[in-house]
Every structure is written in C-alpha cells, then in structure tokens.
Structure 1
C-alpha cells in the first residue's frame, strides 16, 4: 500500500533550539539597486560613443567614395 512504515508517522524529529542563529544578521546582503539617474547617464554615454563612431565611419566612407 504505502512505502513508509507505520511508525514513520509517529516519529517526529525534535526541534533544535538554536537561538544564536535567529539573532544573527544575514551573511551577505543584496547590493543596492542602481539609481535611475546612473542608468540613464550610462545609456547616454553609450549612445554618444556610438554616434561618434558612426560619424567617423561616415567620414571615412565619404573620403573613399567621393568623386575626385
């Protein structure tokens, strides 16, 4: 019928009273979330860098393909 013996339901392991664990702080806390201003600033710097790169590529292409 069941795989567990009948006595398995009677035997409950005793609770350990370890009050030291309850009073301790967490070992590792979560880092604070990035501020929205920082995220926006990083995105803006990345966009500015990409625009600068694209402008450089366009300048090179114009110099290669411009009529002489």
Structure 2
C-alpha cells in the first residue's frame, strides 16, 4: 500500500483554517486551482480531506473509488 494524505482547500481558506492544523508529516496540501490544472487522481488507499465545500466538487471528480464517491454524494 502506498497511502497518501491530501488536504484540498480553496485559494483563500477561512482565517485560521490551515494555520491551526497540527503538524502532520507527509500531508500533501493542494489548492483548488492547482488540482484543476493537474492530472491528479485520488486512489482507493488515499486519504482525502477538504477544508471547504468549495473544494468538494473538484475533489470528488478526482476520486477513483466509486464507493467513496457514492458515500460523499449521500452525505452531501
């Protein structure tokens, strides 16, 4: 397994959103615009978090696992 942890956020996250996160080794920070411009996809083993609903649609489009996509849609 090659599990990665991603945190996706809009270009302008709410004040304190990212600054208050604890130091987490290995976390990959992505901005919405960078994700849109990339060919990044999120694999089944990846952990993907978002800081805002503004990041939800673009992130969901990049998730390969259909079960995860369905769960997100159900909860949305």
TM-score, structure 1 length as denominator?
A: 0.17
Higher-helix-fraction structure: 1
Higher relative contact order, structure no. (Cα contacts within 8 Å, ≥ 6 residues apart)? 2
Normalised by the size of structure 2, how large is the TM-score?
0.16
**Which has the larger Rg?**
1
